[in-house]
Amino acid sequence: MSAYEHSSTQIRQDLTLRSPRVMVAGLLLRALQRRQRRRAAAALHNLDDRLLEDIGITRNDIPRIVERLFGPPEQI
């Protein structure tokens, strides 16, 4: 029984110590994903209408295409 209590206490302490690092890593990951999403959308918006038509999309399709590529934006 004491081994179980010790292990759960140790896990709680480990999570407490990692929590700030996990939070910062999560924030950095979300920022990187937003940047990638914006860059992809900007690249598609920079194409002229003929090129977009050649690849089978319209300007109205760009948000849907970006979401399909990267998944829905995460809510904070």
> What does the pLDDT average to over 65-76?
79
pLDDT at site 57: 94
Domain that includes residue 63, residue range: 2-70
pLDDT at site 20: 84
Give phi and psi for 14, each to the nearest 5: -65, -45
| CB-based contacts of 28-31 (< 8 A; 24+ apart in sequence) | 30/74, 30/76
Flag whether 8 is in a domain.
Answer: yes
Flag whether 75 is in a domain.
Answer: no
Portion of the chain with pLDDT greater than 70, in percent: 71
- Which residues, including other chains, have CB under 8 Å from residue 45's CB and lie 6 or more apart? 59, 62
Query: Could you report the per-residue pLDDT of 45-67, keeping only the tens digit for each?
Result: 999 999 999 999 999 999 999 99
Is this model's pTM higher than 0.75 or not? no
How many domains does the structure of the chain reveal?
1
